[in-house]
Chains A and B, each alone.
Chain A
């Protein structure tokens, strides 16, 4: 299928009548995912959104339930979001991160109804990256600027138009409904060429890293890695695969709600016990946890690396700590 760029705004506006449409929008000086009513608001020329796509299914802050308590007992109201949603223009790294997060929010015993209900009601239109940023290394991370895994529809920008491919049944059905024209053989060839040739190679090689890290918990390598880290947690908040959260109460005497908020292992309070004991008392233990979780523990648990190479942690770290370098240094260790 083919979508001419000058048709995009109309298509989105139309879709927004029926669905909640979320697209990248240029707002307050950054590109961020936002609900739109008018398709012209969508901004599809961006290297990557500041905050990752995970926020659509797993918001930075969300109410889990509210309650009222009185002499009769307790009434609870869970606020599970049921809206049929279309996310238009998510980069492949962020789409892949959702595939990874699915593992977390649905384990063999428990289902996170908030994330999973949104997930089931959301159709994702992925958008390939013609010009990956200097900090991107998705090609090294089982992902890539044109990786289609997780997208329902996939768009390739060929200049004046997007070549649109229906990946899932859900995506194919929506494309059919939009009544688009077919891409010509030339347009398809151009899209294929872009998909095959565009790389975001950050020179990162993680082959064997999981196994190597497995034996490195006590290694002196960790002693210096964290030294300039400020513990600000920008790297973890802005990481599309980081999923840690806190649960807090907001309440008056009889009415209240429980809210969950993103949290991060880079904070010392994250693991502080009531007794005062802290199993991760210093920056060393926390940076080790961050790296180990992504490249060893997650692999052990879900058989996938918890990094998609989006580069946000590199771009946004105030002291330029570079995870690519950390991985290269680990590789170079005997």
Chain B
């Protein structure tokens, strides 16, 4: 019997300060055991429990793409015990990782479809995974048009600035970045995501959206106006978690456990569940 509580040991190879307020760091981890690297097969949208020995464990979305071999990336906001401990870890430290956990964006089902991907704040992490995956030469041909709308409060808070620049330079992705208020030197759009989404008025087969609850709340009606039916809007939920495997009883929404049945649900599925998330 495999013990789902035992973490895999990983080495922190990079602790990178992602945002200008220094509150978000991106961690690059390498498997200590080669076999673990082989076995750890994940898909964009999944998460893992990251453990700082002696401090505890917390769930984070996997920010790397399966196409980036041998490593895992997590972008973590400093909010509490585990996240603060992670921020303070020196490169070379060992952490534990349990995963991959949860379901993923249905990328198999989305083959041949055009996509709009909308992200707000640091919830952009698993969307990075998805975009990297789709843009990989091995996969790009499987998907149609790709529009990405990504917003942050100010330019300094945008994650993955190098990648955003690289994506922007490509012709096979329509990247729209936006910030809340105009600042000098910013050439992208200004405005909140719902408004920008309305302007862009994406016409694709599916929309994937991930961000803070308020942003989701105001963007969903816009997406419906743009013609996305609830079965074509894909969202990712966040709930407080411990076990990550459907046993500790913490993260349920109705009869679904977000850790195991989610975190990815369509709006159609969520409409059938109690509004308690």
Contacts and interface: CB of A to CB of B under 8 A. Distances in A.
Interface residues of A, number: 53
Contacts of A296: 255
Nearest to A120: B1
Contact of A243 (B239, B242, B249, B252): B249
Contacts of B58: 274
A272 B277 CA distance: 11
A247 B262 CA distance: 21
Contacts of A116: 1
Nearest to B277: A279
Given A73-B32, A265-B249, A274-B80, A111 B2 contact: yes
Contacts of A105: 247
Given A69-B94, A279-B239, A296-B255, A251 B250 contact: no
A285 interface: yes
Interface stretch (B48-56, B109-117, B125-133): B48-56
A58 to B, nearest CB: 10
A69 B55 CA distance: 13
A252 B1 CA distance: 30
A249 B54 CA distance: 6
Contact of B245 (A74, A107, A274): A107
A312 B77 CA distance: 42
Interface of B: 1-7, 9, 32, 53-58, 77, 79-80, 83, 94, 96, 212-213, 238-240, 242-243, 245-255, 260, 274-277
Given A65-B5, A73-B32, A300-B255, A273 B53 contact: no
A69 B247 contact: no
Nearest to A117: B1
9 contacts: A65-B5, A69-B94, A113-B3, A217-B276, A245-B248, A245-B249, A246-B242, A270-B250, A273-B239
B56 A249 contact: yes
A224 interface: no
Nearest to A265: B249
Given A265-B249, A273-B240, A274-B83, A78 B274 contact: no
Contacts of A76: 6-7
Given A74-B53, A109-B245, A113-B3, A301 B255 contact: yes
Contacts of B32: 73
Contacts of A263: 242, 248, 250
Given A110-B245, A110-B247, A271-B240, A247 B213 contact: no
A148 B162 CA distance: 65
A76 B53 CA distance: 11
A11 B268 CA distance: 60
Contact of B96 (A74, A78, A110, A274): A74
A43 interface: no
A112 B247 contact: yes
A249 B85 CA distance: 13
A258 interface: yes
A256 interface: yes
B247 A78 contact: no
Q: 8 shortest A-B CB distances, which residue pairs?
A: A251-B54, A244-B249, A300-B255, A297-B255, A110-B245, A274-B79, A217-B274, A110-B4
Interface in A42-93: 64-65, 67, 69, 73-74, 76, 78, 80
A64 to B, nearest CB: 5
B246 A245 contact: no
Given A67-B53, A251-B53, A258-B5, A244 B240 contact: no
A275 interface: yes
A115 B77 CA distance: 34
Nearest to A70: B94
A248 interface: yes
B247 A104 contact: yes
Contacts of A274: 58, 77, 79-80, 83, 240
B210 to A, nearest CB: 14
Interface in A248-293: 248-249, 251-253, 256, 258, 263, 265, 270-275, 277, 279-280, 285, 289, 292-293
